[in-house]
Structure 1
Amino acid sequence: MSTSELSNPDGHCVGPQSEQAGKAASCQGCPNAAICASAPKGPDPDIEIITRRLQNVKHKILVLSGKGGVGKSTMTKELAFTLGHRNLLVGLVDTDICGPSIPRMTGVRAEEVHQSAGGWEPVAVDDNVSVISTHFLLPNKDDAVVWRGPRKNGMIKNFLKDVSWGELDVLVFDTPPGTSDEHISTVTLLQQSGGVSGAVIVTTPQEVAVADVRREISFCIKTKVPILGIVENMSGFVCPKCDKSSMVFPSKFGEGAGERLAKEYGFPFLGRVPLDPRLMKACEEGVPLREIASDSPAVIALDRVVDGLLHQLSLQSAPNASSA
């Protein structure tokens, strides 16, 4: 019997809202069985509120990775900025409750969330991109967030229920590594309040990343989250002096893990994004890479990724968008 069969004997997740959640045969061996079993059952009265909050959001997408260290938050930040560069309205939700990094990467670490008559106002990064994160709610920005699952889940619900998102083309969710409480809560709440458009899976070229990414793909399949495509990050290294690219993680298969996984599962391969040392500077300064290195091969690659993502969403750049 395979590992997946041991953790999910009948191959079907009954979902955290089911009366059999945590008790069904498919729950045996699942690390989240106890969480699902103890979760409140029946209709959630907050779902109607969340549905109203998100009624003017055209698309909700998750950025996922089965492991840490693949540059997922950096990719999320650059995708949000690139979408904003296309003159699309973008909301960015930092669901990494215990390790929020999006505020620093977007240059709004010193800001706070303000309460208005309509609810929490997300922090504006620029005219097109806004952010919500646990970081903004901490009295001391360097405090550790030592929360158990239910409190983390409650905060994610607050991000959806209490934030006045208004009209958005895309609401992007940056998630922590793995398939834990934050992922289950986010997917469940979105599916019950209008649906989730899909997920972007981020990997790196090496084989060591493949096993963890497969688990993330399995999570999406079991929870019925469409996969919009796979992005291979850190695919090559860009010399900041000559802009020439060289492979850092060569594969014995002749192609990176991202492209092979996309072919194996039949998902779109959105593209390869190379390492560029200037990207670290962009993250430290809280600006898009485009702002400090508009001719970087990584910027060109990100534009191609967004082209593919917009195609999957059947969404077009808004009129008067800046040229890529």
Structure 2
Amino acid sequence: MVPAELIGIARFQSGVVSRQQALEAGLTHVGVRGLVGTGRWKPVARGIYSMGEVRWEQLLWAGILIGGPGSTVGGLAAAHQLGIAPQPEVIDIWAPRAASYRRRAAPSPWDFHRGTRASRGNPPHLSVEETVLDLCSTCGPDGITAWIGKAVGGWLTTPDRILAALDRTPNLRNRKLIGECLGVVAGGSNSALEARYRRDVEQAHGLPIGTRQKSVSSGTASDVVYQEYGTIAELDGKLGHRGDGEVRDAWRDSKHLLLGFVTLRFGWADVTGRPCEVAARVSDVLRMRGWDGVPQLCPDCLHVA
């Protein structure tokens, strides 16, 4: 008979228990073997059992029990729990440095990382902010923009809260790039984005330097205007440029087209992640509209197909 105390633990842990928990609750080694042998308990990993079917929730708890006290779900698995990512094949588990666990060999569904992370929920997982930073630390500008956009656009957190979490992780990979993206979003200002555009797009490729924050039509201010060549470059620093804002942008672009200006739009990921391609696009349009200059290649252009 399974002790009531163990049944309570199992209910909290999605039906998953460890051998140690079973023994501490009063079961014997023989009793555990009997439950497994009759099929009432299903082995999930060495020393970890499920009292029912083994599904996603059971695998999450098994990973946490393997990692030991203080372990938490991270990475894409945490993002899936938060509703911003599909269910991944591999479950990332953060386990305290003092925890004793064995890395499971393939085809294990878990990938263990040594480290202490604050957790919440059941099963325990990283907070929204920690999850976003965890994922952003392993991807480029497009990925950083996408993860922050999903979390902020889904009203799960705010840029300021992610910035606060970033301040608590001084050694995070991609920290500078993440902070720059968040600074643009949180401040509602494109100053950092405009500075990158000037340096990495215009100056690095020998393009004309456009006029900043110039009014082309009444009540508007465009980010970069190449007046002589009837061209506008709008830098969209805010994430999720959708809805009413998108409609207003389209209306303004059509208004400027009637005045003889073509509008190019680039996001933060474009300017930071592929400035050479942005420069090529701007150069092509400027040359079509009368610029007789010759764009130059920067060292990074050699890596652009």
Larger radius of gyration: 2
Q: TM-score surpassing 0.5?
A: no
Which gives a bigger RCO, structure 1 or 2 (Cα 8 Å, sep 6+)?
Answer: 1
Higher helix share: 2
Q: Per the shorter chain, which TM-score range?
A: under 0.3
TM-score (norm 2): 0.25
